[in-house]
C-alpha cells in the first residue's frame, strides 16, 4: 500500500482467486469410473447381440415347424380323399379305410404336438424380444450416464486449463516485475557514470546491457511508460511527493523517480513520480 498525497485511495495488489484445482487422485477416479462404464456398456451390447441371435434362431425353428404343419394339413386332405373313396367302395376298401383312419389319427396327434411346440417357440421368441428391449433400454441409460460423466469431465478439464493459464500468466508477470529493479539499477548507474574519460567505456558497456535488457522485455510485450511532462494519472503513476516547476501546469509530472512499465495493455508497475503542486 502506498501513500497518496492527493487523498486518493491507496493502491492494492491483484487479488488472488482461491484455488479450485482437482487433485491427481480425483482425476484418476473420474477416469476409472469412465473406463468402468465403458466396460458395462460393452457387456450390455454383447448380451443384446446374443439375445438377438437366439431370437433369430427361434424364429427359424418356428417357421420350420409351421411348414411341417402345412405339410401335415396337406397330407390330412389326401387322407380325407382316401376316406371318401373308401366309403364309396366300403366292402372292397374297408381295410384300407381303417388303415387310413389310423394314419390320420397319428398325423392329427403329431400336428397337435407340433402346434403346441410352435406355440411354445412363439412364446419364447416373445420373451426374448422383451428381454432384448429391456437390455436396449438398460444400454441407453448407461450410455446417457456415460455421456454425462464425459461432459462433466470435459468441463472440469476446461476449468483446470483456464485456471492453469491464469496462474501461468500471473507467475510470468511476477517474474518480469521482479526483473525491473535490475533495469532500475542500470538506469541509476548510467546517471552516475561520467560521460568522458575513463568512464566512457564503462558507460557504453552498461548502456549496451540496458538496451539488451529492454529488448528482452519487449519480446515479452513489456514496455516502459514515460509520464514526464504529462498530467498526473493515478491509474498509471504513484505520486511520492511534489516538486514546484513554474514551466509546468499544476498536477503535472515534473520528475520520474522510478519508471513505470506496462505488459500488453495492462499496467505491470506504476511509475513513482513528483508532481507539481495544485
| Whole-number pLDDT of residue 241 | 93
What SS3 state is found at 275? strand
- The dotted CATH code for 24-177 is 1.10.287
Q: Give the other-Cβ count within 10 Å of 51's Cβ.
A: 20
Q: List the grid coordinates of 230.
A: 504529462
Q: pLDDT (tens digit, 0 to 9) for every residue of the chain, 278 residues total?
A: 444 454 555 555 444 444 456 788 888 888 888 888 888 888 878 887 887 887 788 778 778 878 887 887 787 788 678 767 757 776 776 776 577 678 878 888 888 888 888 888 888 988 898 888 888 888 888 888 888 888 888 888 888 888 888 888 888 889 888 989 999 999 888 888 876 666 788 888 888 999 999 999 999 999 999 899 999 999 999 999 999 999 999 999 999 999 999 998 899 999 999 999 98
Give the strands of the sheet with 271-275, arranged side by side: 237-242, 271-275, 253-258
- The dotted CATH code for 222-278 is 2.30.22.10
Q: List the grid coordinates of 225.
A: 511508460
Exposed / middle / buried, residue 201 (Cβ in 10 Å: 0-12, 13-18, 19+)? exposed
Q: Give the other-Cβ count within 10 Å of 271's Cβ.
A: 23
Angle, vertex CA 211, rays to CA 271 and CA 224, nearest 5: 20
Domains of the chain, by residue range, sit at: 24-177, 222-278
What's the rounded Cα separation, in Å, for the pair 216 and 176?
10
| Whole-number pLDDT of residue 2 | 46
What's the rounded Cα separation, in Å, for the pair 194 and 200?
7
What's the rounded Cα separation, in Å, for the pair 100 and 106?
10
Amino acid at each position: 500500500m502506498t501513500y497518496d498525497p492527493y487523498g486518493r485511495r491507496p493502491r492494492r495488489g491483484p487479488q488472488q482467486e482461491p484455488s479450485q484445482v482437482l487433485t491427481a487422485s480425483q482425476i484418476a477416479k473420474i477416469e476409472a469410473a469412465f473406463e468402468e462404464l465403458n466396460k458395462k456398456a460393452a457387456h450390455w451390447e454383447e448380451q443384446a447381440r446374443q439375445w438377438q441371435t437366439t431370437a433369430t434362431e427361434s424364429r427359424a425353428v418356428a417357421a420350420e415347424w409351421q411348414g411341417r404343419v402345412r405339410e401335415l394339413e396337406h397330407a390330412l386332405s389326401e387322407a380325407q380323399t382316401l376316406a371318401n373313396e373308401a366309403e364309396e367302395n366300403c366292402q372292397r376298401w374297408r381295410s384300407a379305410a381303417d388303415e387310413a383312419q389310423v394314419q390320420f389319427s397319428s398325423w392329427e396327434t403329431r400336428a397337435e404336438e407340433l402346434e403346441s411346440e410352435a406355440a411354445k417357440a412363439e412364446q419364447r421368441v416373445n420373451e426374448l424380444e422383451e428381454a432384448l428391449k429391456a437390455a436396449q433400454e438398460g444400454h441407453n441409460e448407461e450410455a446417457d450416464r456415460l455421456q454425462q460423466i464425459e461432459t462433466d469431465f470435459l468441463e472440469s478439464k476446461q476449468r483446470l486449463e483456464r485456471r492453469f493459464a491464469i496462474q501461468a500468466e500471473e507467475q510470468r508477470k511476477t517474474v518480469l516485475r521482479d526483473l525491473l529493479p535490475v533495469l532500475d539499477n542500470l538506469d541509476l548507474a548510467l546517471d552516475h557514470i561520467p560521460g568522458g574519460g575513463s568512464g566512457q567505456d564503462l558507460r557504453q558497456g552498461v548502456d549496451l546491457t540496458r538496451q539488451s535488457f529492454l529488448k528482452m522485455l519487449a519480446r515479452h510485450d513489456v514496455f516502459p511508460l514515460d509520464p514526464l511532462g504529462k498530467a498526473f494519472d493515478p491509474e498509471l503513476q504513484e505520486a511520492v511527493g511534489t516538486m514546484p516547476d513554474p514551466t509546468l501546469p499544476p498536477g503535472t509530472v515534473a520528475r520520474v523517480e522510478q519508471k513505470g512499465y506496462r505488459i500488453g495493455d495492462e499496467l505491470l508497475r506504476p511509475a513513482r513520480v513528483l508532481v507539481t503542486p495544485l
